[in-house]
Structure 1
Amino acid sequence: MDRWAEAGKSDDFVKKQLKLRGLSGDALKAHKNYNYFERFEGRRDVIRLERWMTTEASTYSVWTQQGLGYINTWDDLKKAMDTDAFKLYMSYGKYFDTIAHLNMAIKPVPVIGSDASWMEKVVRILSWKHTDKPEEYVMKILGFDKFSLETLQANKHGETFLLFWLLKNERVDRLYMKELLEKLVEFEKLSPAEMTKLKNKDSLETAQENTKTLLKKLLGLNDLSKEEMVLHDKYHTYKYLSGLIKRQTIDKHISILMERLTPRY
């Protein structure tokens, strides 16, 4: 099994060799050679993970290699979460974020590029919440301190952070991925009045101030006077990003965001 995995043999090739071709479901699992096929799959996945880790592959390149590019709707994503391809992607994504976060003080955080799809970013949001990644890390991986304002807007990195911020500050006791996804779907279903109530919760006031402080520090504005801030080349980036979480702008951005994410049949 190890030899086939290391040689990059396909599932179909291995099934043929093990006389499993044409079998599925209970019939496949009941075959005497099925445990060998499982061993092949396990070894193959380990080899893939090791290769991605060695080359520091981007999460989106792994997303596409795993055949997840078809995911365009909530339903697509819900169904994909149960697949082996998605689970392997998640394993690498969590490793990627863990290493990048641990090395944040000594090595630049690799940013999400313009090639990443929106739904892959949604999955990263869920993973960041699920693994309790700090806001500062998410700000850096979205390139807030590197990209121009125009690039941030074009790549929807501001909206990505907004959705993470709302999910992070929502009191969610259960941290299973599918339950977090359901929470995002709930955001979509809120009426304007309900959204206003959500964004005006007293509990968000402190979170808003803390996030603004983090943004100022990240963008090099924390020690500047108001007059000096206005003249800084990152001032407009700060105004845009801090404006996303301000109470009077959340409705607008959530509306645009959820319109894009609404499943289309």
Structure 2
Amino acid sequence: MKYWVSLKKSDKYVMEKLGLQGLQGQALRTHPKYKTLEKFWYKRESSELDDWLSEGLTLYGAWTRLNLDKVPSAQVMKTNEYKIYVHYVKKYDSMVYNFKNGIWQPPIEFGGTDAEIFAKVQVWAAAKRPRWYVKEMLELDGLSKSELVADKFYKKFLDLTGKKP
């Protein structure tokens, strides 16, 4: 599969190799090799997002590249592009967290639309980021416990992780 990704093989090529050519809809999704096709798509997406990281694309840059800035806020989290954005946030956040306070630390972006920040909160919760990190990323350092839980994003982080304030 890495071979197909590295050679930038098309969906048509991969589907043919997996014996999925001509299948659509339910017939495609229920085929035993469909999971392999999904893994190929994910690895290809991951490779493209690695290229974005290499070029230094910020989170907001990814948001606009995916045209999420043009999607009504009520719809944005329902789009496939938003799923790609969350995938990019995972990669970007791993880089920020792993190189925090180091010489290679990428720029940290604070703020954003509710959907942008919620993507970060989801990623932090799934990655089991420590509270100090989440508070710093949300610019909530120095707040009292009651002020912290009043912040909708920090509250969501606590809800997602099952932690108490």
Scaled to the shorter chain, the TM-score interval is 0.5 to 0.7
User: Does the 8 A contact of 1:129 with 1:167 survive in 2?
Assistant: no
**Count of residues in correspondence between the two structures:** 141
Q: Any residues of structure 2 matched to 1:1-265 within 5 Å, and which?
A: 1-12=1-12, 14-15=14-15, 18-21=19-22, 23-24=24-25, 26-31=26-31, 33-66=33-66, 68-74=68-74, 76-80=75-79, 83=80, 85-107=81-103, 110-112=107-109, 121-130=113-122, 131=124, 132=131, 133-139=133-139, 166-168=151-153, 170=155, 174-175=159-160
Q: So what's the TM-score if we normalise by structure 2?
A: 0.58
User: What letter is aligned with 2:117?
Assistant: I
* Gap runs ≥5 in structure 1: 140-164, 177-265
Provide the residue aligned with 1:259 in structure 2: none
Counterparts of 1:94 and 1:61, CA distance in 2 = 15
Q: Which runs of 4+ in 1 moved over 6 A?
A: none
User: Does the 8 A contact of 2:15 with 2:21 survive in 1?
Assistant: yes
User: Does the 8 A contact of 1:20 with 1:33 survive in 2?
Assistant: no
SS of 2:113 mapped into structure 1:
helix
Deviation track 1:90-139 (CA, whole Å, cap 9, x = no partner) reads 132133234324434335651549xxxx9x63233214444254443344
User: Does the 8 A contact of 2:89 with 2:120 survive in 1?
Assistant: no
Counterparts of 2:154 and 2:138, CA distance in 1 = 14
Task: Summarize the Cα distance change of 1:137–1:36 in structure 2 as closer, same or farther, 3 Å threshold.
Answer: closer
Counterparts of 1:62 and 1:171, CA distance in 2 = 23
Counterparts of 2:11 and 2:114, CA distance in 1 = 30
Counterparts of 1:35 and 1:55, CA distance in 2 = 30
Task: Summarize the Cα distance change of 1:33–1:59 in structure 2 as closer, same or farther, 3 Å threshold.
Answer: same
Counterparts of 2:108 and 2:156, CA distance in 1 = 28
Task: Summarize the Cα distance change of 1:20–1:61 in structure 2 as closer, same or farther, 3 Å threshold.
Answer: farther
Question: Alpha-carbon deviation of 1:55?
Answer: 3.4
User: Does the 8 A contact of 2:73 with 2:115 survive in 1?
Assistant: no
Counterparts of 1:171 and 1:6, CA distance in 2 = 38
- Bigger Cα Rg: 1
Q: So what's the TM-score if we normalise by structure 1?
A: 0.40
Task: Summarize the Cα distance change of 1:38–1:172 in structure 2 as closer, same or farther, 3 Å threshold.
Answer: closer
Counterparts of 1:37 and 1:171, CA distance in 2 = 33
Counterparts of 1:65 and 1:89, CA distance in 2 = 10
User: Does the 8 A contact of 2:121 with 2:157 survive in 1?
Assistant: no
Counterparts of 1:106 and 1:22, CA distance in 2 = 49
Percentage of pairs with the same residue: 21
* Gap runs ≥5 in structure 2: 125-130, 140-149
Task: Summarize the Cα distance change of 1:37–1:92 in structure 2 as closer, same or farther, 3 Å threshold.
Answer: same
